[in-house]
């Protein structure tokens, strides 16, 4: 069974987003260390908050990278993982947007724009991967892998596959 084009597109975007999150997180750590070193920022709260949010972002980036690779391989778990990461990205985005708006006021408008773009993308991602036909592709691909490995499919799985092929 061929991988749907939408899955391929989201997989590539997730891989790139994961890599960018990991690289961006490293730059944030370097920036915080540099600011501390030169004495521009000396509040521990800023450091703790920045490091915590950055670690969360990097963790979600790593999970995005893993889920993107899993999507390319049509792994059943990757569909669940990419949807879970999308929900956490939305929640983290809300936190970062509110924090930016409180800290910078209207100057934090860039964070709101980034949040809005992230919200739209992750909303579309959630909608796409909840679609029944996409869910079915992952289930059928998983069953084809089991059949290729010589494992027996249950009668329910066989009937589901016959229904799909008749449509």
Report how far residue 121's alpha carbon sits from residue 125's, in angstroms, rounded to the nearest whole number.
6
Contact 114, 140 (CB under 8 A): no
pLDDT digits (tens, 9 = 90+) for 79-133: 999 999 999 989 988 887 887 777 777 767 777 788 899 999 999 999 999 998 8
pLDDT at 79: 93
CB atoms within 10 A of CB 86: 24
Q: At what angle do helices 76-104 and 44-72 cross, to 10 degrees?
A: 150
Helical H runs in 39-154? 44-72, 76-104, 109-130, 132-148
Q: How far is CA 149 from the centre of its chain?
A: 30
Q: How confident is the model at residue 38 (pLDDT cuts 50, 70, 90)?
A: confident
Q: How confident is the model at residue 149 (pLDDT cuts 50, 70, 90)?
A: low
pTM: 0.74
Report how far residue 97's alpha carbon sits from residue 114's, in angstroms, rounded to the nearest whole number.
9
pLDDT digits (tens, 9 = 90+) for 45-91: 666 777 787 888 899 999 999 999 999 999 999 999 999 999 998 99
pLDDT at 165: 53
């Amino acid at each position: 069974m061929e991988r749907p084009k939408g899955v391929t597109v989201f997989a590539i975007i997730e891989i790139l987003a994961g890599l960018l999150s990991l690289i961006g997180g490293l730059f944030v750590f370097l920036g915080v260390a540099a600011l501390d070193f030169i004495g521009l920022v000396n509040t521990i709260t800023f450091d703790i908050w920045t490091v915590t949010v950055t670690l969360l972002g990097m963790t979600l980036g790593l999970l995005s990278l893993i889920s993107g690779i899993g999507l390319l391989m049509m792994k059943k778990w990757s569909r669940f993982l990419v949807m879970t990461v999308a929900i956490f990205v939305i929640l983290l985005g809300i936190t970062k947007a509110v924090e930016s708006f409180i800290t910078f006021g209207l100057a934090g408008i860039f964070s709101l724009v980034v949040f809005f773009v992230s919200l739209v993308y992750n909303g579309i991602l959630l909608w796409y991967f909840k679609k029944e036909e996409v869910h079915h592709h992952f289930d059928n691909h998983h069953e084809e892998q089991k059949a290729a490995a010589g494992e027996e499919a249950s009668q329910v799985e066989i009937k589901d596959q016959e229904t799909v092929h008749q449509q």
